[in-house]
Every structure is written in structure tokens, then in C-alpha cells.
Chains A and B, each alone.
Chain A
């Protein structure tokens, strides 16, 4: 697969404070995004996600490194014609109505008036804002702004869409709709670059992820490679037995109302536990295998990072 985005050794620092001091925000970021995938760019707040995105989009200039979009320098207008961008907080011209807003961006892509109007009504329908086309954006709720933001990001039918925290500020239904739209974009062959710190979003829809902590990418790859499906331990809930009887079989994580929550490692120990329960006349209420989640991986990496 071809790389639609290549980022090599990106460095960026900002001067902050009354007596300006250099603070390194990006320290050698390198990754590639292939055509047609949903790429998750993951990191805690302040890790450098948005700064990377701003460098890619030409909003700020990196001090070092190279960024290529579709094989072209990232600042070239040819490359920008093929991308769409939804910023983290929807910052838009609040004095414009929804359709005026989309018309303005349509003009920047040189769409003809007929193409523009057709596209505007299709996009308003896609994001469910047809009823609000003549309302000024200042009267929009945060969720509506997020939707109109997505519409402007798609006005040029981009091949690569950058979404910065696209599910923030949406209600559960809105989140599902947004996820469906993102998946539909992939079905249409578009590439999606998704920045988020909400792990469930990434886990549910991303093909590949990169994890950034303190300005460095500390892990990247296919989601299934990063998060193994190996069972780490079992959680067993039992009752009718004293804790002293099972203390050698697993760690007692909670004891409430006569029930014990045990963390049991290894299948041998599970067999032993079941034997003890049966022999001593206890009850096994549940037995849940726990596999590693993206969250576990993320927490581990952030702690190490």
C-alpha cells in the first residue's frame, strides 16, 4: 500500500514563560499512514498530538524534519486540495449561517456554484443539519458545531481526512453516528487520521495506531499486534468459602456480602479453585478471562514513558 502521509524526524519546540525558555514539544516524530486505513494517533493530554497535526497542516512550522502528503511537500496547495481537517474544538465563523460557511470553504477549493450547492445540501444531509442551514453558527450547540465541522472537512471530497478528537462533545447517539461516518469514509477508500485520547474510539475503529508520549512515539503498529489476545488472568467471584481457604490460589481483590473477587493467574490455578469450590460446597458466580486492552497497553506505556 502507498503512503499518503510520511512524517520523518519531526522536531518542534515553543518558547514559554516571562523569561522565554525553550520547551521541546516534538522530539523526532516518525510515522507513515497508508492509503485506505484509519490511523489512530493516540496520547495523553499535552503529549504533542495537536502540535503534530498543526505541523502537518502547515499551521506551524517544524524546526526539523520532513512531512510529505501524497509524496508532495506538505505545504503545497496540490496536496492541500486532497485533504480535509476537523479541528479539536470547533472554531468557526460564528456570524455565518451553516450554508454560507460551507459555501465559503467550497469557494476556496474552486468548486463551481452548481457543484458547490449540490455538495452543500448533500453534506448537510449527511451530518443531519439540513434543518439548520440558515441558522448562524453562533446559535449552534457544540454537537452541531462538530457536525458542521465534519461537513466542511468533507467539502472537497478529500482522500485523507484529519480528525482531531472528533467524538468530543457528542452525545452517545452522535458518537455512534460519527463513528459510522468515519467507517463509511474508509469504505469509500478514504484514509482517516484520527487524533484522540478516548481509547474506546480508537479501539473500535482504527486499523493502526501510534502512541505518542512527551513528544516521542513510543509504540506503533497494527492494533491486533499491539494488543495481544492472550489471557492475562481470570476474575472469579465465589461465595460460601472463607478467604483463608483460597488465599493460595489467587489474590483477593474485594470481599463484600460474603462474596470474594479473586484474581487468578494460569489455568492450573483455575482448576484448583474449581476443585476447592466443589469440595467445600461453595458457589462460583462468575469466571471472566481478562485480555489486554488498548487501555492497559496505553497506561503501561505512558507510565514507562
Chain B
């Protein structure tokens, strides 16, 4: 009940934030832009629309998660609204979880909105609703769950600008870390290889949520890969949230 109240309040805060509408506007433009990009393409135009459309949803989802997520907790502390809240019968972890779920709800609504525009655009070309695209979008959302947890974690102890930079770094590392697998394979067994492996486990691998190519090109994906990616997202988010809760629980609000 309390978590729900904080989540709905966060949702209300986010949808009344002007920055959100700016990002939605650019996201819509990005998706529609794919249609014009397709005109310049030789070959399968629909694939271009799918590619660029999915990339837009992913990119703008990431921007919303980071730009709004990093400000959520910090603003409460900076504007001192947290003072009144902490005097109410609510645990600190409930507050943080409410904030997290509130932003996820916002992202869910936005992703649904962008998906509708996207599917409508595809429908205009193929005259079929391509439901399989939703698989890629679902995993984009899962990636955003991890990113939101990162944004909230940083927002518990630093300013929005630094949190945004750290979260962006997390995103970039997350999409490049898969290359470490190759390095590990090419390193001789020993201490170096063990250290690299530990580093690879700690660093995020956001490519686990990238099913765009497979979905656009209709490539088969084994069921266990879905499950593996889902569990990875779930546990990584939980790990980050627990870390955020520990930091938030111990800090003074001055």
C-alpha cells in the first residue's frame, strides 16, 4: 500500500515533468524518421524501419530512465521533501522501492505508447501486426529495469549530473563488455584470466537483452536464452536495488 502510494506519486511526478514530453517527442520523431530512411534504402525497406524503430525505443527509453531516474531520489533530498516523508510511518526501503516501481510504470506506459506508433508504422507497410517485435521490446524494457536501478543507486549518494554520467558509463560498458569474452578466451589460463572472468561477472552485459537483430531477421532463439536473459535482468536489478537500499538506509539527510 505504502510502496504503491509512493510509486503512483512518482508516476504523477514523472508525467508532469516537461523533460519527459520532450523525450517522447524526439522518440516519436525517431520512429517516424525510420520511414524516411527506408525510402533511401535499396532492398528490404521494412527491415530498416524495424531496425531504426527498435533502436529509437531503446535509445529514448534509456535517456528517460537515466535523466529522470537520476533526479528522482536526489530531488527529494535536495528539495527536502524527504523530511516530511521520513516522519511518516514508512520504511526507507519502501520509499526507494516505490520510487523505482513508479519510474518503471512511467517507462512501461511510454514504451507501450512508442510500440503502438511503431507497430502501426509497420502495419502500414506489411498490413500485418508483427507481434514478434514485442519480444525485442520486452527485453528492451528489461534492460531499462536494470538501467533504472543503476540510476536510482547513483542518485542515492551523488548529484544528478554525476549520476547521469555514471549511469551512461554503465550503459556503454554494458554494451561493450561482451568483447571481454573474446579476451578471456585468448588469455592464457592463470591469475590474469581469473581476474578477467571476475571482472566480466561484475560488469553488466546489457547485450543479453539485445534481441533486435534476431527478431528483425526472424532468426530462431532457443527458449533457454530468453530465460537466461530474464533471470540475468531480474537478479542484476535486485542486486543494484539492494545496494541502493543499504546506502539509502545508512545515510543522513541534511
B is bound to A: yes
- Does A216 belong to the interface (CB within 8 Å)? no
In the assembled complex, A31 has its CB within 8 A of some CB on chain B: no
Chain A residues within 8 Å of B254, by CB? 14, 54, 60
- Give every chain A residue within 8 A of B79 (Cβ-Cβ): 91
B86 and A58: CB pair below 8 A? yes
**Measured CA separation A34–B62 after assembly (Å):** 53
Contact B87 A58 (CB under 8 A): yes
B125 is an interface residue with CB less than 8 A from chain A:
no
Interface size for A (C-beta < 8 A) is 31
In the assembled complex, A173 has its CB within 8 A of some CB on chain B: no
- In the assembled complex, how far is the CB of residue B93 from the closest CB belonging to chain A, in whole angstroms? 12
- Tell me the smallest distance from the CB of A262 to a CB of chain B, in Å: 51
Within B222-254, the residues touching A (CB, 8 Å) are: 250, 252-254
The contact string, 1 if C-beta is below 8 Å from chain B, for chain A 79-119, is 01101110101011101100010001101111000000000
Q: Once the chains bind, are A108 and B81 in contact (CB under 8 Å)? A: no
| CB <8 Å contact, A77 and B89 | yes
State A286–B249 Cα separation when bound (angstroms). Answer: 63
- Within 8 Å by CB of B84, from A81, A87, A100, lies A87
| Interface status of A195 (Cβ within 8 A of chain B) | no
CB within 8 A of B90: which of A108, A149, A162?
A108
Tell me, in angstroms, the Cα distance from A93 to B17 when the chains sit together.
12
User: Which residues of B have CB within 8 Å of A95?
Assistant: 12-13, 16-17
- B185 to nearest A CB, angstroms? 46
Indicate the member of B12, B84, B85, B253 with the most A CB atoms within 10 Å: B84
A146 adjacent to chain B (CB < 8 Å): no
B91 & A77 in contact (Cβ 8 Å cutoff): yes
In this complex, how many residues of chain B approach chain A with their Cβ under 8 Å: the count is: 26
Whether a CB of chain A sits under 8 angstroms from the CB of B9 is yes
Q: Is the CB of A57 within 8 A of B87?
A: yes
A87 to B83, alpha carbons, bound, how many Å? Answer: 7
Residues of A within 8 A of B89 (CB): 77-78, 80-81, 108-109
Q: Say yes or no: A93 contacts B9, CB within 8 Å.
A: yes
Cα-based distance from A81 to B2 in the complex (angstroms): 13
Most chain A beta-carbon neighbours within 10 Å: one of B79, B81, B87, B90: B87
- At the interface, yes or no: B82 with Cβ under 8 Å from chain A? yes
A85 to B90, CA, bound (A): 14
Bound complex: CA of A80 vs CA of B228, how far in Å?
43
Residue of A nearest to B78 (CB): A91
Asked whether A196 is an interface residue with its Cβ less than 8 Å from the other chain, the reply is no
Contacts of A83 in B (CB 8 A): 87
- Rounded to whole Å, the gap between the CB of B95 and the closest CB of chain A is 10
Q: Does A59 contact B (CB under 8 A)?
A: yes
Nearest chain B CB to A152 CB, angstrom units:
7
Measured between beta carbons, the chain A residues less than 8 angstroms from B252 are 59-61
Instruction: Report yes or no: A60 in contact with B253, Cβ–Cβ below 8 A.
Output: yes
* Interface membership of chain B positions 1-36, coded 1 if the CB is closer than 8 angstroms to chain A and 0 otherwise: 110110001001100110000000000000000000
Tell me if A57 and B5 are in contact (CB < 8 A). Answer: no
- Measured CB to CB, the closest approach of chain B to A134, in angstroms, equals 14
* C-alpha gap A83/B85 in the complex (Å): 12
Chain A residues in 8 Å Cβ range of B253: 54, 59-60
Alpha-carbon distance A139/B104, docked complex (angstroms): 29
Q: Which residue of B lies closest to A164 (CB)?
A: B83
A91 partner, pick from B1, B84, B90, beta carbons under 8 A: B84
B86-A57 in contact (CB<8A) = yes
A105 with B80: CB separation less than 8 A: no
Q: Are B87 and A162 in contact (CB under 8 A)?
A: yes
User: A80: which B residues are within 8 A, CB to CB?
Assistant: 87-89
CA distance A57 to B84 in the complex (A): 9
Complex formed: what's the CA distance from A131 to B85 in Å? Answer: 25
Select from chain A the residue with minimum beta-carbon distance to B91. Answer: A77
A-side contacts of B82, CB under 8 Å: 59
User: A152 near B9 (CB under 8 angstroms)?
Assistant: no
B87 partner residues in chain A, CB cutoff 8 A: 57-59, 80, 83-85, 162
Q: Which of B16, B88, B254 has the most CB of A within 10 A?
A: B88
Would you give 25 A-B contacts (Cβ < 8 Å), ordered by A? A54-B83, A58-B86, A59-B83, A60-B253, A60-B254, A83-B87, A87-B84, A91-B84, A92-B84, A93-B9, A93-B13, A93-B81, A95-B13, A95-B16, A95-B17, A96-B9, A100-B12, A105-B84, A108-B2, A108-B5, A108-B85, A108-B89, A109-B89, A110-B1, A162-B87
A-B pairs, 6 with minimum CB distance: A107-B5, A91-B80, A85-B87, A60-B252, A77-B89, A80-B89
